[in-house]
Chain A
Amino acid sequence: MSAVAGTHAQDQHHGPARGFSRWLLTTNHKDIGSMYLIFSFTMFLLGGTMAMVIRAELFQPGLQIVQPEFFNQMTTMHGLIMVFGAVMPAFVGLANWMIPLMIGAPDMALPRMNNWSFWLLPCAFLILVSTLFMEGGAPNFGWTFYAPLSTTYGPPSTTFFVFAIHIMGVSSIMGAINVIATVLNMRAPGMTLMKMPMFVWTWLITAFLLIAVMPVLAGVVTMVLMDINFGTSFFNAAGGGDPVLFQHVFWFFGHPEVYIMILPAFGAISQIIPAFSRKRLFGYSSMVYATGAIAMLSFLVWAHHMFTVGVPVAGQLFFMYATLLIAVPTGVKVFNWVATMFRGALSFETPMLFAVAFVILFSIGGFSGVMLAIAPADFQYHDTYFVVAHFHYVLVPGAIFGIFASAYFWLPKWTGHMYDETLGKTHFWLSFIGMNLAFFPMHFLGLAGMPRRIPDYALQFADFNMVSSIGAFMFGATQLLFVLIVVKCVKGGEKAPAKPWDGAEGLEWTLPSPAPYHTFSTPPEVK
């Protein structure tokens, strides 16, 4: 440390403060990362509980457990909580923990803002979840809150929903600014951009996407707010507006958003597969460019969510081809992961199991995505369970398995203990079976014509729905096992060495496990 005036510099070497104020007031990227991860898992369980309600209702045809109004609130809240409460914060948590360790920085670039980004989330979700107890119930229009369902026909709580989204947006934008400033400005000497670990690269690009599209989401919810409360007619044709405008603005946010939820998982998988293949990542630079290409293309494909709404033919063709183009860089990535494993000395610890399952199952989700991208075919699939199957295949074994893989991969670094490998593998296999059982039949249901977002269905869909519900219950119950595994790992277990995975590479493994409270106060030299 050079001569920096004042007591602050010395304080940096203190351990964490005691008591709850440590968490409330912290500026430490590891504390904040842990809080993000814990918050996200809590939301995962809450959103999962809602999914259980949905699947319980759909276990058999007919209405048995909940009213259709409440069912709609459950699908809406499940989607919102999983997207904004579970997946996104989990990746921000991983970014907080790992980016400074991976690039050799003492902390995130703007540590106080980092704390604010986190604490806004519980605040936003407090407001969002409280809508369940308001007059007229929670939002019931699906997580996409299409006008006029959200404007003309929305419950009074829609206004609260809008402000909750605003707060989440502020949190995401600040989190993303922090990531960009950290990556661009805080890398250790010698760590050039093209030497950065893939996880850092994918997060840099994700952060750019976040800053570009979260304000657009803020814009569209503001228009909804104005239409509801101040008599504007953005989405009302009687005043010259257009409900389709809503869909355009929303999906201009919404499509990059799906890459926001998957790119960091790509990055994490690109760290994990080489570690357990004991080989370098195949095609590093093509991975970087592919990620960039996916991000750029993601801005040009939004209307593929809207083929059936009446987009002009020229528009349908453009958006169809642009969407199909995304399969190319995504294919590059899948090819590189497989090529990394090819002739590697593979071992299948829990992180690798999740990673391999990620590659296979995410590809299935990608293929159904290609099917959906084809405009004439999409007319058949639109708003059916096929769509539900598609995006759950990219989000559950994609984003969520990516997060689990990362958690198992870095738990030894975070806690200083090895997790219980048997339990970890059990968690994986039960999740794997449960998830496929839950979501694979949905493909068939959708192709046979079962619409999404309904509490009841025709009798011919009964068997597959029951299978799907059983799978969902299995997947849901299995996640409680993860709580046990993490708690056990935090409390004790086999001591983890600095580098528990012999194929792993990167600065984070040069640090002792658990990583000290303050790391890289003096940056390491990267050769």
Chain B
Amino acid sequence: MADYQSYYVPEQSKWPIIATVGLGVTLYGAASIMVNSTQGASTSSAWFVFWAGILIMIYMLFGWFGSVIKESRSGLYSPQMDRSFRWGMSWFIFSEVMFFGAFFGALFYARVFAVPWLGGEGDRGSSNMLWEGFQATWPLINNPDPEAFPAPESVIGAWGLPLVNTILLVTSSFTVTIAHHALKADKRTKAKIWLGATILLALVFLFFQAEEYMHAYQELNLTLESGIYGSTFFMLTGFHGFHVMLGTLMLIIMLIRIQKGHFTADNHFGFEATSWYWHFVDVVWLGLFIFVYVI
């Protein structure tokens, strides 16, 4: 056991319990906002609870990650600890993949089964009795019940902004890898430049995505409420956009950390985990581009 190094078991920590309180308060606030506004009651106190929870969460994130960074930089972590982090991050990303899988599944089910059945096709074509004369199309721009769910006038084409966004995001996957190689070669200025470029691409992506949403809501009447196309479109791209936002924040923090002199050529898992996450976000986008926009 010559290569054995003691595994770092942290002392008592206040961060998990703060995280629990933070998450609980945030979600309780969010639920109260939703319930109160559906019932037409005032939501101001619920918003207060929600933001209080968010503040606790931000405080916790800085504190918890801060102490992990401090421990890492003071050399408390062994290679074995590093492997635990790697397993942790990989399985976390796998869980995220499965989360997106649920929404992709809903999209496929609606396209391949539910909508054609409502249009009278296949084994369960008798569903057509519900709204006789309903014609199944995809993208669904004529809902079965247009009064309950006013249909969109049209949908976002693939070859405009979405194509630009695809190019942006794929490029950013390359730039973050260049930055990673630079960091490994201890060329920190180069790493900073390429990481900065990645962040820039990410921000432009987010800007275009916001632009696209405004276009959809204001001009196309494509909204969350416009039937299953709008539901799947906004939930998939919305959750993806949220993840891009998170990833961008992570990248910005990595840039700050490099600036502050953190990371060495062979010890920079924080950076690596962020780049894994970034590649994951990129791959999900490719799935979105193909299945939501193109096909």
Which A residues form the contact surface with B (CB < 8 A)?
1-2, 4-6, 8-9, 11-12, 17, 21-22, 24-27, 105-107, 109-113, 115-116, 119-120, 123-124, 126-127, 156-157, 159-160, 162-163, 166-167, 170, 173, 176-178, 180-182, 184-186, 189, 211-216, 218-220, 222-223, 225-226, 228-234, 236-242, 244-245, 248-249, 252, 310, 312-313, 518, 521-523, 525
Contact = CB atoms under 8 A, between A and B. Distances in A.
B155 to A, nearest CB: 13
B9 A106 contact: yes
A470 B7 CA distance: 53
A6 B74 contact: yes
B76 A242 contact: no
Interface string B5-36: 11111111111110111011001101100110
A2 B144 contact: no
A239 B131 CA distance: 11
Contacts of B88: 109-110, 113, 177-178, 181
Interface string B119-160: 000111001001100000000100111001100000000000
A85 to B, nearest CB: 16
Interface string B164-183: 00000000000000000000
A167 B23 CA distance: 8
B238 to A, nearest CB: 10
Contacts, number: 259
Interface of B: 1, 4-17, 19-21, 23-24, 27-28, 30-31, 34-35, 38-39, 64, 74-76, 78, 80, 83-84, 87-88, 91-92, 94-99, 101-103, 105-106, 109-110, 113-115, 117-118, 122-124, 127, 130-131, 140, 143-145, 148-149, 223-232, 234-235
Contact of B114 (A2, A170, A241): A241
- Among B149, B225, B226, max chain A CB count under 10 A is at B149
B31 A216 contact: no
A95 to B, nearest CB: 15
Contacts of A239: 143-145, 148-149, 226-228, 231
A116 B232 CA distance: 32
A242 B114 contact: yes
A24 B229 CA distance: 46
A10 B103 CA distance: 48
A186 B79 CA distance: 12
A223 B106 CA distance: 9
Nearest to A223: B106
Report whether over half of chain B's contact residues are helix, strand or loop; otherwise say mixed: helix
Given A25-B17, A242-B114, A12 B31 contact: no
B84 A185 contact: yes
A215 B114 contact: no
Given A180-B87, A185-B83, A115 B17 contact: yes
Nearest to B29: A163
Given A115-B17, A156-B39, A181-B91, 5 more contacts: A162-B31, A189-B4, A219-B102, A240-B118, A523-B4
B110 to A, nearest CB: 6
Nearest to B231: A232
A232 B13 contact: no
- Among B31, B34, B75, B144, max chain A CB count under 10 A is at B31
A238 B148 contact: yes
B235 A226 contact: yes
A181 B87 contact: yes
Contact of A186 (B80, B123, B226): B80
17 contacts: A4-B78, A8-B8, A8-B76, A123-B21, A177-B88, A177-B92, A185-B83, A189-B4, A231-B224, A232-B234, A233-B149, A237-B127, A238-B145, A239-B227, A245-B109, A518-B9, A522-B6
Given A25-B12, A245-B106, A248-B105, A233 B231 contact: yes
B84 A181 contact: yes
Contact of A312 (B34, B91, B124, B127): B124
- Among A186, A232, A240, max chain B CB count under 10 A is at A240
